[in-house]
């Protein structure tokens, strides 16, 4: 998969933080977005955007939408559900779910 870029945005749409990444499959994008939303749930950044190598937008969502997606997950052993209210320090590397390498 070509390199992608995660962008964290303020409510006005201005990108604040960029994370270059490489994921083996596009289907893993949403899981990464959900993990990022866990980190951002109480902060000032409200949206996550993912762009491809040619600057095309692959995905854009609100942090609240990604958190609601975790809550609605039907997988009974979903490792993210138990982290909806966990401290940020406890999120890295739990049950095999990690943020991508930057």
For residue range 31-86, list pLDDT tens digits in order: 899 999 998 887 888 999 999 989 999 999 999 999 999 999 888 888 898 888 66
- What's this model's pTM, rounded to 2 decimal places? 0.76
Beta carbons of 81 and 73 less than 8 angstroms apart: yes
Provide CB contacts within 8 A for 75, sequence distance 6+: none
Beta carbons of 49 and 65 less than 8 angstroms apart: no
């Amino acid at each position: 998969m070509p390199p992608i870029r995660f962008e964290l945005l303020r409510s006005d749409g201005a990108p604040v933080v960029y994370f270059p990444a490489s994921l083996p499959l596009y289907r893993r994008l949403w899981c990464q977005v959900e993990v990022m939303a866990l980190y951002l749930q109480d902060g000032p950044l409200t949206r996550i955007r993912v762009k491809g190598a040619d600057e095309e937008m692959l995905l854009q969502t609100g942090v609240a939408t990604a958190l609601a997606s975790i809550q609605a997950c039907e997988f009974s052993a979903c490792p993210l559900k138990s982290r909806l209210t966990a401290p940020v320090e406890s999120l890295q590397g739990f049950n095999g779910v990690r943020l991508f390498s930057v």
